[in-house]
A and B are shown apart, each in its own frame.
Chain A
Amino acid sequence: AQSVTQPDIHITVSEGASLELRCNYSYGATPYLFWYVQSPGQGLQLLLKYFSGDTLVQGIKGFEAEFKRSQSSFNLRKPSVHWSDAAEYFCAVGVSGTYKYIFGTGTRLKVLA
């Protein structure tokens, strides 16, 4: 069955430190992969997407993600975290042939000043 796993429920980093959020997917075909961010009480904002091609994708707010087919992973990275990055981050896979997404359970990021 198709699924997305985000192993880390909570992550705390200091402002200015680097960040990596993990995402693993289970999907039979070439996946469409997404990272979204959600601030409290708000909707989801798209950070970046992977459809095909270059496995390192750049997104907004200085985020990037790398698609690794051999590891079924799509980890999100940022070299230097800002206090405003504190939020919940969701990895998602788009189900081919539909417009449905399967989301991971999310990782809540806390940033220490």
Chain B
Amino acid sequence: KAGVTQTPRYLIKTRGQQVTLSCSPISGHRSVSWYQQTPGQGLQFLFEYFSETQRNKGNFPGRFSGRQFSNSRSEMNVSTLELGDSALYLCASQLGTGENTEAFFGQGTRLTVV
């Protein structure tokens, strides 16, 4: 069974630009969550999507947004990039129904803002 696929693996962007990251969850999983990982702040929850709806949101500015498609694939977008947005962005795939279940993570997208 294929795992969680994130594309691209690496990105370099300039301040002020926008970026879109993609995540394909495990087949049959309908919940996709996004996390930002930085050396200073650690792993922080961005948002979670289920059936194309955002169910939960972390404490990030509105420049961070996401969406989910009918096939459960998800994208996250960061607009007006800042240097501090440089991070590893991780996508997590879960079944999405019932009580909290284990999350399976992708390899991440390493975003560097210059």
In the assembly, what is the distance between CA of A105 and CA of B105, in Å?
17
Closest to B100 in A: A94
Residue in B42, B50, B110 with the greatest tally of chain A CB atoms within 10 Å: B42
Cα A82 to Cα B96 in complex, Å, equals: 35
Q: CA–CA, A96 to B100, complex, Å?
A: 7
Closest to B95 in A: A99
Q: Which residues of A17-53 are within 8 A (CB) of B? A: 32, 34, 36, 41-46, 49, 51
Q: How far is the CA of A106 from the CA of B42 in the complex (A)?
A: 8
Q: Interface residues of B: mostly helix, strand, loop or mixed? A: strand
A101 within 8 A of B: yes
From known contacts A43-B90, A105-B42, infer whether A98 and B100 are also in contact, taking CB-CB under 8 Å: yes
A36-B103 Cα distance, complex, nearest whole Å? 10
C-alpha gap A104/B88 in the complex (Å): 16
Measured in the bound complex, the distance between the Cα atoms of B44 and A104 in whole Å is 10
Q: Decide if B94 is an interface residue (CB 8 Å cutoff).
A: yes
Which listed residue, B45, B104, B106, touches A100 by the CB 8 Å rule?
Answer: B45
Query: In the complex, which residues 40-61 of chain B have their Cβ closer than 8 Å to any Cβ of chain A?
Result: 42-43, 45, 48, 50, 55-56, 58
The contact size tier of chain B is 20 to 34
User: When the two chains form their complex, are residues B106 and A99 in contact, meaning their CB atoms are under 8 A apart?
Assistant: no
Residues of B within 8 A of A (CB): 4, 6, 31, 33, 35, 42-43, 45, 48, 50, 55-56, 58, 88, 90, 92, 94, 96, 99-108, 110
8 nearest interchain CB pairs? Answer: A94-B100, A103-B43, A44-B105, A43-B105, A43-B107, A32-B100, A105-B42, A98-B56
User: 29 A-B Cβ contacts within 8 A?
Assistant: A32-B100, A34-B102, A36-B105, A41-B88, A41-B108, A41-B110, A42-B108, A43-B6, A43-B90, A43-B105, A43-B107, A44-B90, A92-B43, A94-B100, A98-B55, A98-B56, A99-B48, A99-B55, A99-B94, A99-B96, A99-B101, A100-B45, A101-B35, A101-B45, A101-B103, A103-B35, A103-B43, A104-B42, A106-B43
